A and B are shown apart, each in its own frame.
Chain A
């Protein structure tokens, strides 16, 4: 993984999430873009069908067009966004990074992890992926690792739990 992010220190070996996760995000992004476009396009559809006026008014094109363009830009950014998600397992901490415009790097000490969640949905399941979330006692710890291969997610969970128990610290 290229060391593009100048927020993280040198010398960490970053791993990426599964490339299949790009497909998952693209599919779900397309679906939601279509739904939003249709939603904002209701006046236009009514206009075309002749229920609202005889022919669609010019302004009716505007909302769905904006939503569609926004959605397409979002879709274009997905591959980069997914490639920007990375994690590095160090001896006592887990490093996480994400974002291309709003970047962040988070360090979670293993001893601070309270529990590790693995979640998966139908779409993720189809690609054999899972989302992993780390929880510490702080609610604002934003430590998500979406789109890990199932086996890697399980391995990571076991590993994190093991190290967490080893290094557990009271509050």
Chain B
């Protein structure tokens, strides 16, 4: 939408230049020639290291002891002859370059009006494709090494149930950005035409494309529920203007045409250009000091300090023992450092901005990543308050988002909406991220700080202390008309929020011990993600009542969603 003239039909013209025959068989285009080398940089480094290692001793000696640098080819050369050595070296270099070129030659992408396809591999070919009308967002990803070469990759969020995202890598940075704009046009076309077919029926049945498929397109209820926050965008304004025009009785067909485009464009609000800050409302950036504090007060740091203390003590006691200790530390140190580094990457400069469909998060020290989280697709949310962070009142918030990759992508940015933040940040997130009319602020606050039952929360019965001695007074649930909240943990405090209209199914379970004690656990089955949605050791009668009530509420919420989307889409058509 930052694209100049995004709503102008002409925008798709450059797209045509890209692929002169965009019709059934689009042209297969190639990625940047450096791609294979950047991708397999590790291999190349290993190769260089392997060759260089032969001379490393000499070089090191020269550097460290100031010996004259005397690289001794002679031994090798005498053994096999200079010509052969040179030939082998050239051969290896040639092979690497040749393989790279070969790989590059077979790595191609194609853009048709309906699909993006990406194909690579000379012998074992793989092809991936994404339907344009299912594309939820296109992100530009800039990792460290590609960034040095001025390259970037385009990442497609696709909402067709597959958990793997399509990635076009690598393109020149400006090319990537340009292509993204063009693709936005194409996506708009594709989803625009998609809406036409839906348009005829959905007024009757109230099933927008959200209902069309299991992992459907974004749920329109989100937009319906929260009108105000989207106000800033020109599209929304234009949209409203158009709706007003409809009311005024202007030419329906032309307006319908445009309104459809606007609507599609609205859906693509998540595609707002990264660099165009005006289009996004920045909600907060996590200050660097807090990021560092959060890392300092983490178990990784604590264990690092512990190991360091042990090392010092051992050293005082018997310096010889360090010879054994240090090597055994290596894996632990690597683990701690990589853990800390990952945390640093995901929280450094973490910025949450509001875009039309939801929020966009961005972070990264060396590898900058960004991701869009459409509000309508958020399934559940968990706020955690780790024990050590209570010093500075830090919170972490994670969400489950449909179609964002399942459990295998947990560590990524895709599920984290707040790496470390204040209660104010949490409140803002609750308001922005959940597909609800009213943020469940009170339930979350009580869920984090409350203990024992109160007017909201029902906790485990007292007899549960035999199986849950420390936290039974915290283990509990609460519900209102819109959400089910679960809380647990005393030192590390957690609360998860599950909107009723997002629960898939519900389960009640009881093992032999539970049965003796008349306890049960309740599980809300959600799309796989990093949020815990089960609560254990509840009173069996209460959990049975909860199951029945939750079933009823979820049913009502689903009906409401269906009605809303029916209403919503009818409104848009008329």
Q: Is the CB of A106 within 8 A of B507?
A: yes
Q: Is the CB of B215 within 8 A of A104?
A: no
Residue B225 lies at the interface, judged by CB distance under 8 Å to chain A: no
- A141 CA to B219 CA in the complex, in Å? 22
Cβ contacts A134-171/B at 8 Å (1 or 0 each): 00111111110000000000000000000000011111
Q: Is the CB of B504 within 8 A of A105?
A: no
A166 to chain B, nearest CB (A): 10
- A107 CA to B216 CA in the complex, in Å? 22
| Contact partners of B216 in chain A: CB under 8 A | 170-171
Residue B258 lies at the interface, judged by CB distance under 8 Å to chain A: no
Q: Is the CB of A104 within 8 A of B510?
A: yes
Residue B211 lies at the interface, judged by CB distance under 8 Å to chain A: yes
Known contacts: A140-B523, A168-B207. The answer to whether A105 contacts B508 by CB under 8 A is yes
Stretch with Cβ within 8 A of B (4 or more), from A5-13, A32-40, A116-124: A5-13
B160 to chain A, nearest CB (A): 12
Residue A59 lies at the interface, judged by CB distance under 8 Å to chain B: no
Cβ contacts B372-407/A at 8 Å (1 or 0 each): 000001010000000000000000000000110010
Interface hits, B211-238 → A, CB 8 Å? 211, 214-217, 219
Cβ contacts A94-108/B at 8 Å (1 or 0 each): 000000011111111
Q: Is the CB of A103 within 8 A of B506?
A: no
- A111 CA to B502 CA in the complex, in Å? 11
B556 to chain A, nearest CB (A): 10
Known contacts: A7-B544, A101-B512, A137-B402. The answer to whether A171 contacts B210 by CB under 8 A is yes
Known contacts: A102-B511, A104-B510, A138-B527. The answer to whether A170 contacts B505 by CB under 8 A is no
Residue A83 lies at the interface, judged by CB distance under 8 Å to chain B: no
Known contacts: A104-B508, A104-B509, A137-B527. The answer to whether A167 contacts B215 by CB under 8 A is no
B225 to chain A, nearest CB (A): 14
Q: Is the CB of A136 within 8 A of B510?
A: no
| Contact partners of A93 in chain B: CB under 8 A | 551, 555
Residue B59 lies at the interface, judged by CB distance under 8 Å to chain A: no
| Contact partners of B505 in chain A: CB under 8 A | 106-109, 112, 136, 138, 141, 143
B487 to chain A, nearest CB (A): 20
- A112 CA to B501 CA in the complex, in Å? 10
Residue B482 lies at the interface, judged by CB distance under 8 Å to chain A: no
Q: Is the CB of B502 within 8 A of A6?
A: no
Interface hits, B176-234 → A, CB 8 Å? 207-208, 210-211, 214-217, 219
Task: Find B527's partner among A101, A108, A167, A171 (CB 8 Å cutoff).
Answer: A171
Residue A55 lies at the interface, judged by CB distance under 8 Å to chain B: no
Known contacts: A9-B547, A167-B558, A171-B219. The answer to whether A138 contacts B525 by CB under 8 A is yes
Interface hits, B53-92 → A, CB 8 Å? none
- A19 CA to B282 CA in the complex, in Å? 63
| Contact partners of B520 in chain A: CB under 8 A | 7
Look across to chain A and name the residue whose beta carbon is closest to the beta carbon of B406: A139
| Contact partners of A139 in chain B: CB under 8 A | 406, 527-528
Residue A114 lies at the interface, judged by CB distance under 8 Å to chain B: yes
B316 to chain A, nearest CB (A): 51
- A111 CA to B525 CA in the complex, in Å? 14
Residue B458 lies at the interface, judged by CB distance under 8 Å to chain A: no
Residue B540 lies at the interface, judged by CB distance under 8 Å to chain A: yes
Interface-central residue, B507, B511, B528, by most chain A CB under 10 Å: B507
Q: Is the CB of B507 within 8 A of A170?
A: no
Residue B554 lies at the interface, judged by CB distance under 8 Å to chain A: yes
Residue B154 lies at the interface, judged by CB distance under 8 Å to chain A: no
Q: Is the CB of A137 within 8 A of B211?
A: no
| Contact partners of B544 in chain A: CB under 8 A | 6-9
Look across to chain B and name the residue whose beta carbon is closest to the beta carbon of A97: B508
Residue B515 lies at the interface, judged by CB distance under 8 Å to chain A: yes
A109 to chain B, nearest CB (A): 7
Q: Is the CB of B219 within 8 A of A109?
A: no
Look across to chain A and name the residue whose beta carbon is closest to the beta carbon of B541: A6
Residue A28 lies at the interface, judged by CB distance under 8 Å to chain B: no
Look across to chain A and name the residue whose beta carbon is closest to the beta carbon of B220: A170
Q: Is the CB of B528 within 8 A of A169?
A: no
Q: Is the CB of B554 within 8 A of A109?
A: yes
Residue B565 lies at the interface, judged by CB distance under 8 Å to chain A: yes
| Contact partners of B215 in chain A: CB under 8 A | 137, 171
Look across to chain B and name the residue whose beta carbon is closest to the beta carbon of A91: B555
Residue B111 lies at the interface, judged by CB distance under 8 Å to chain A: no
| Contact partners of A101 in chain B: CB under 8 A | 511-512
Q: Is the CB of B509 within 8 A of A171?
A: no
Q: Is the CB of A138 within 8 A of B528?
A: yes
| Contact partners of B523 in chain A: CB under 8 A | 140
Residue A92 lies at the interface, judged by CB distance under 8 Å to chain B: yes
Q: Is the CB of A109 within 8 A of B558?
A: yes
- A169 CA to B506 CA in the complex, in Å? 16
Q: Is the CB of B207 within 8 A of A7?
A: no
Look across to chain A and name the residue whose beta carbon is closest to the beta carbon of B379: A171
B573 to chain A, nearest CB (A): 18
Q: Is the CB of B377 within 8 A of A171?
A: yes
Task: Find A170's partner among B504, B506, B512, B565 (CB 8 Å cutoff).
Answer: B565
| Contact partners of B217 in chain A: CB under 8 A | 170
- A155 CA to B507 CA in the complex, in Å? 24
| Contact partners of A92 in chain B: CB under 8 A | 555
Q: Is the CB of A102 within 8 A of B525?
A: no
Look across to chain B and name the residue whose beta carbon is closest to the beta carbon of A92: B555
A167 to chain B, nearest CB (A): 7
- A139 CA to B554 CA in the complex, in Å? 19
Known contacts: A9-B548, A142-B507. The answer to whether A171 contacts B525 by CB under 8 A is no
Q: Is the CB of B525 within 8 A of A170?
A: no
Interface hits, B490-521 → A, CB 8 Å? 501-502, 504-512, 515, 520
- A102 CA to B402 CA in the complex, in Å? 31
- A114 CA to B507 CA in the complex, in Å? 18
Interface-central residue, B210, B403, B508, B515, by most chain A CB under 10 Å: B508
Interface hits, B540-574 → A, CB 8 Å? 540, 543-544, 547-548, 551, 554-555, 558, 561-562, 565
Interchain Cβ contacts under 8 Å between A and B, 24 examples: A7-B547, A9-B548, A92-B555, A93-B555, A101-B511, A103-B510, A103-B515, A104-B508, A106-B506, A112-B504, A136-B505, A137-B215, A137-B527, A138-B525, A138-B528, A140-B526, A143-B505, A169-B562, A171-B215, A171-B216, A171-B402, A171-B403, A171-B502, A171-B527
Query: What 11 new A-B contacts, CB under 8 Å, besides A101-B512, A106-B507, A169-B562?
Result: A8-B508, A104-B507, A105-B507, A109-B555, A138-B504, A138-B525, A140-B523, A140-B528, A170-B211, A170-B561, A171-B219
The 8 A-B residue pairs with the shortest CB-CB distance, nearest first, are: A170-B210, A138-B504, A138-B525, A136-B504, A108-B505, A171-B402, A170-B216, A106-B507
